[in-house]
Structure 1
Amino acid sequence: MIPVKGFEGKRVAIFGLGRSGLSAARALKAGGAEPVLWDDKVASTAAAMKEGFTVEDLKKADWAEFDALMLSPGVPLTHPEPHWTVKAAKAAGVQVLGDIELFARTLARFPARNRPKTVAITGTNGKSTTTALIGHILKSAGKNVHVGGNIGIGVLDLEEMQPGAVYVIETSSYQLDLSLTFKPDVSILMNLSPDHLDRHGGMDGYIAAKKRIFMNQDKGQTAVIGADDDYTADLISQMRVSHPVKLVAISSRRVVGDGVYALNGELYDATGERARHIIDLKSVRTLTGRHNWQNGAAAFAACKALGLTNEQIAAGMRSFPGLAHRMQEIGRIGKVRFINDSKATNADAARQAMSSFDKFYWIAGGKAKAGGIDELRDLYPRIKHAFLIGEAAELFEKTIGKAAPCTQSRLLFTATAQAYAEAEKSGKEEIVLFSPACASFDQFTDFEARGDAFRDAVNEIAKSVAVAGVQDIGA
């Protein structure tokens, strides 16, 4: 745990007692603050009381007594409208903060000469893989590295700050919205496409939240920005003119001057006098596809900024085990390979997976995002057959139309069994791709549970067809 400094003896209101809320409460208490907790769920407040925290109905509280409001990322700051706690805090002149900001303020109190380094990663897609890849490369090079934030371990649950440590932190737009002084040594914005628009009041608000990752950086720090979408390309142009930070553009589609790029999977570093070849990412099984080439370019730029050699970075990439639910090959039954890409919760993420295969049997659906799968029309010819699940099944079949055969399977197990049966008929090497392009909340608690259910379905089908197990290729 990282004890939060700067609030000693002060009362800090905390609303939202999920993972980040309770983590912040423990860290604040360890640092000498008096956290005061509340949640609309009785079970959550009861659990907090059992842990020994002060629980108080914040609707009845005197907000003038609080020094800050710690808001969980899932609680609206501005849209669709500010949460009542935000309104109460602002009316009383109380600062509204998030867990990343508490981390930043604690880090700032560390002596500058041996302050730990921080790498922060955000973007619509690719955050988690890039975060994990950077952490793995640094660890492989012998660094004392801690990985967390919006992935895995909450940022305040990471090990206490020590000289020489490196913190690699995945940050969401919600967390960045609540960050005022966060100043990472290396910041990374992977890409931008419409997402979470209801929480940010539209695309402009979403972009503004993501841009906060660069807000406090200065000349001695590095900003890594993807150049493969219009939103980030515009941002690169703006920042080259107006921002003092060292800017490194990355691309998996084209050559970028003074940047890092991967053409057909071949990674090049062009930040020096001439472009240097680093590694063929196609040789790294866990970095398959153009989207992963961008992840690799970002990871290289970040690790290079932290002083690693080309050889150290390439070696770390080669041994990267990958992440579950992200283009994860979970096994095969006969000649049919199963790819678990449950993390693809929107169409743009699904595009990355679909673009990695010439032909495939597609399992998709769930709770549709704005725009559905309209933007994937150019990829419909690659679909041998679509098996559709969840609330979006009917909508997706209408969208695909006659471009590819469709079956409204509704349930994931049914879709997996039907996809296998259809793929197995060809007698050739085939791909069953589970890349839902939807949120999971209509049938599952989260994308992890959905991905686990897909793996379970594959295992059950393997048993039923009397194939000797499923070779587990992904971690």
Structure 2
Amino acid sequence: MIKLDFAKNKCYAVMGLGISGRLAARALAKAGANVLAWDDIDNARNQVLGIKGVQLENLNFHGLDKVHALILSPGIPHTYPKPHPVAAEAKRRGLPIIGDIELLLRALPNRKNIIITGTNGKSTTTALISHLLTSNGLRVEVGGNLGRPVLNFNDPGRDGILVLELSSYQLELTPSIAPTIAVWLNISIDHIERHGNLAGYVAAKQRIFANQCSDNIAIVVVDDEQSSIVANTLRQNGNNLIEVSNKRPILGGIYVDQGFLIDARSSQPNKIFDLKSVQSLPGAHNEQNAAAATAACLALGFRKEVIARTITSFLGLAHRLELVAVYDNVTYVNDSKATNAIATAQALATYNPIYWIVGGRAKEGGIERLTPWLNRIKRAYLIGESAKNFLRQIGNNCPTVLSYTLENATWQAHAEAQEDNILGATVLLSPAAASFDQFPNFEVRGEQFKALVRALTYNYSKKY
């Protein structure tokens, strides 16, 4: 656990007692702080009973009088659409509203850190950067929006590196963020219910660059309009900028050309390696992720030969184009982490033909933007509360069936794919929707899919 020595003899309020909130309360109390904790859910409050130095206090009514700062769960709104009453009271009093990432950075102010954000690809890029660093002997602590809560880290030391995936929610609660290397992957409409509109979402994401100095590096993938605007702003502001693209050559940057990763930071562009040889990174979107991760490691001083050697051993990320099984001519892929249409578009562009399992709790716009890829779909199996709405959006663009549950859909897709027996066919779970209508999270959804597939392909999978 990270030592929060700066908090000794101060009073902190912790609102929201999920995993990160409970750890914040525990770490602050262990450091000698007086901690007032609350969650509007009874079961969450019970999780901190008995922790020495943590006092349950209904912050909705009282408890902020002597507080130094409010530690707020990222999921609790503090601006749009309406601030939670505790956040509103903290603002009225002029109290800092921060999150667990801010506590980490205050505790370890002199540690190198690579921070990754974007709408899609964050987790794969974060995991890949961590793999490249650890495989070459560096001490790394990786987490944030991915993996371990940050206050469960160990101090990596002055020669180590913090690798953090941060959402827009987390960035808003981290005022002192100043990444050694900031990685911006892409922007598309997401979390509008929290930020109000695209401009609000982009502004929250741009906090990643707010405190960078001349020694820091900003890496921006410029393959969408908003990201290009962000890169232009950084350039005009004099930031140390490396642009990345998997769509076009970037003089002075890193780009992908016919599957080859190119380093064009000098006057003579040089091939780094062939991304097509990395089986765990299929699809054009993973070219983008790999290019951004490579740019980060090059910025740290890694030689391209070292990166090329190490990247081939990356195993990929669970629930993101994760190969589950190959049974006869059919491949089974778990892409449960695709919770919006942009992420699913990347999956649909990777495989053909596809037996597509789709649906859940729809995001804004649903799957309207996926029409250009529906000619790849042999049949779509619609699940979750969005099933009928997605059926209407698909229309006559591909065959469909209302499966409603993941279990039904997996059985149906398996049976039809095996009956058709098309070489290169893929049964793909890529929901383009959140999981919360039927599952606690996308991980549980993905694990159920994998268990179903393994049961259906058991006899063969023992050999595979």
TM bucket by the smaller chain? over 0.9
Equivalent in the alignment of 2:333: 339
Matches for 1:113-262 after TM superposition, within 5 Å: 115-242=110-237, 244-262=238-256
SS in 2 for 1:48: coil
> 1:411: Cα distance to partner?
0.9
SS in 2 for 1:441: coil
Superimposed CA distance per residue, residues 119-178 of structure 1 (whole angstroms, 9 cap, x where no aligned partner): 000100000000000000001111111111110101121112522110100101000011
Partners in 2 of 1:136 and 1:174 — Cα distance? 25
For structure 2, the residue ranges without an aligned partner over 5 or more in a row are: none
Equivalent in the alignment of 2:372: 378
CA contact (8 A) 1:250 1:297 kept: yes
Partners in 2 of 1:118 and 1:44 — Cα distance? 31
Partners in 1 of 2:350 and 2:213 — Cα distance? 38
Equivalent in the alignment of 2:461: 469
Matches for 1:55-454 after TM superposition, within 5 Å: 55-108=56-109, 115-242=110-237, 244-429=238-423, 430-454=425-449
| Count of aligned pairs between the two proteins | 462
SS in 2 for 1:287: coil
Partners in 1 of 2:136 and 2:461 — Cα distance? 36
CA contact (8 A) 1:220 1:245 kept: no
Partners in 1 of 2:117 and 2:462 — Cα distance? 35
Partners in 1 of 2:156 and 2:322 — Cα distance? 33
Superimposed CA distance per residue, residues 23-44 of structure 1 (whole angstroms, 9 cap, x where no aligned partner): 2112222333222111112222
TM-score, structure 1 length as denominator?
0.95
Superimposed CA distance per residue, residues 171-207 of structure 1 (whole angstroms, 9 cap, x where no aligned partner): 0100001111111100011100011111111111100
Partners in 1 of 2:366 and 2:258 — Cα distance? 29
For 1:468, give the aligned amino acid: Y
CA contact (8 A) 2:325 2:457 kept: no
CA contact (8 A) 1:368 1:438 kept: yes
For 1:408, give the aligned amino acid: L
SS in 2 for 1:136: helix
For 1:394, give the aligned amino acid: K
Q: Is structure 2 residue 33 aligned with structure 1 residue 41?
A: no
SS in 1 for 2:457: helix
> 1:384: Cα distance to partner?
1.2
Partners in 1 of 2:191 and 2:122 — Cα distance? 15
CA contact (8 A) 1:331 1:471 kept: no
> 1:471: Cα distance to partner?
6.1
CA contact (8 A) 2:22 2:47 kept: no
> 1:470: Cα distance to partner?
5.5
CA contact (8 A) 1:331 1:470 kept: no
> 1:462: Cα distance to partner?
2.2
CA contact (8 A) 2:104 2:150 kept: yes
TM-score, structure 2 length as denominator?
0.97
Matches for 1:12-23 after TM superposition, within 5 Å: 12-23=12-23
Partners in 1 of 2:213 and 2:134 — Cα distance? 26
Partners in 2 of 1:418 and 1:471 — Cα distance? 24
CA contact (8 A) 2:132 2:307 kept: yes
For 1:28, give the aligned amino acid: L
SS in 2 for 1:75: coil
